[in-house]
Amino acid sequence: MTTINYKEEYEKYKSKYWKKHHETKSLKCETLELQKRLDIYESAVLYGEVKRLSNYMDYGIISSHKYGDIFFHSSQCKFNMNTNLIGKKVKFNLMISKRLEAINLELEINDTLSAFDILDSGIYKQNSLRVDELSDNNSDNSDSSFNSCVEEVEELISEIKIDNDILHEDNLDEDIKIIQNARKIWYMNYRTHQANKGWFNMIDNDFVCTWQKDNANQRLFDKLVIGDIIAWYTIGIGYSAILRVKDNCSYITDDDLKIWHSTDESLKAHHEWAKKNKCRIIKIPVEFLAYTDLYHCINRQPDWTNDDWTSGFRGPNAISPTHSRWTEQVIKMYQCMKNNP
């Protein structure tokens, strides 16, 4: 009778699975890159929504269903930059310089955004719209009173036009600017027993978790603010992600837990563990600015001294390191993760 070494078989098939996973991921990235270049070559018109703007209104990020987050600069916009743009739909072309970038941006006039809304919002830029675009379908395009109204609006806007001077650090990656300008850059850690499987589940679902027990993380709901940065550390391994908080913390739900607990028995076991240990799991919704798998976490760089490099702290609490080079270290880790995904 042949004895099967189940552990050996498990490791063999796990290795095959992860090999296929990475091959598929690589092919998807290659296909996406080819599609980007085809869209650029054909000057394809793409659509997206303004996701966020810089504090100085000189650049922003578009959320695109096709390519995710895309950088754009104010000089490429046919409208003025202000906070009214958030959530507005735009159409654009693509170019690739040091990064993927949206160019020739125009506001998309549709059922939810009329030409009059654009005029009222303060984002209309003189000569960016034709008179016929500003006319109601039921009105006469030659209506002189309407044209007069447009001229008055243009005159007013020209007086309050926002200054879009380019900042000296504009050549930096937009995410690096986000890190530099963040209100707080926190250190947090977590312990994993599921290797990459559990880690990728969190990445796919845009959140990370920590636990609340005794004095641990009692003030986390007040500490973390939308827009804060978290350097995420995997205990015993190294830094695994640079995160941006995108929503308020909450206690984890059963629906969230199902990404790890696929059966009722497993979910029940988790609740029994939490009750026994008087522990609650906190969900932190985040944007993964950069991350790595758990086999390639970031540790102290060769050109950094032990005194300058902030290694892992004890405990799961959100900590704000005071070292003068902490922000520089986080940017360095971000760059390493981006260059070696």
pLDDT score at 136: 41
Q: Are residues 150 and 63 in the same domain?
A: yes
Residue pLDDT, tens place only, 23-35: 787 787 778 778 7
Give the tokens for residue 259: 């990404």
pLDDT score at 329: 95
Query: 212 with 34: CB under 8 angstroms?
Result: no
CATH of the domain at 143: 2.40.50.140
Query: 260 with 283: CB under 8 angstroms?
Result: no
Sequence-distant (≥ 6) Cβ neighbours of residue 197 within 8 angstroms = none
pLDDT score at 214: 80
CATH of the domain at 262: 3.10.590
CA 159 to chain centre: 35
Give the tokens for residue 215: 């004095």
Give the tokens for residue 301: 């760089």
Last residue of a domain, one of 112, 127, 160: 160
pLDDT score at 115: 60
Residue pLDDT, tens place only, 288-313: 999 998 888 999 888 898 888 998 88
Per the listing, tokens 């609340």 go with 212
Q: Are residues 189 and 314 in the same domain?
A: yes
Last residue of a domain, one of 105, 136, 160: 160
Domain with 55, as residue range(s), is: 46-160
Residue pLDDT, tens place only, 230-278: 999 998 889 999 999 999 999 999 988 888 888 888 889 989 988 998 8
Residue pLDDT, tens place only, 210-225: 988 887 888 899 899 9
pTM of the model: 0.52
Q: Which of 339, 336, 328 is nearest to 240 (CA)?
A: 336
Going by their DSSP bridges, the two strands 280-291 and 207-212 should be labelled as antiparallel
CA 34 to chain centre: 23
CA 99 to chain centre: 15
Query: 179 with 242: CB under 8 angstroms?
Result: yes
Q: Are residues 327 and 182 in the same domain?
A: yes
Tell me, yes or no, whether 331 lies in a domain: yes
Tell me, yes or no, whether 33 lies in a domain: no
Domain count, the chain: 2
Q: Which of 103, 75, 85 is nearest to 164 (CA)?
A: 75
Where does residue 63 rank: exposed (0-12), middle (13-18), buried (19+ CB within 10 A)? middle
Q: Which of 100, 110, 126, 118 is nearest to 36 (CA)?
A: 100
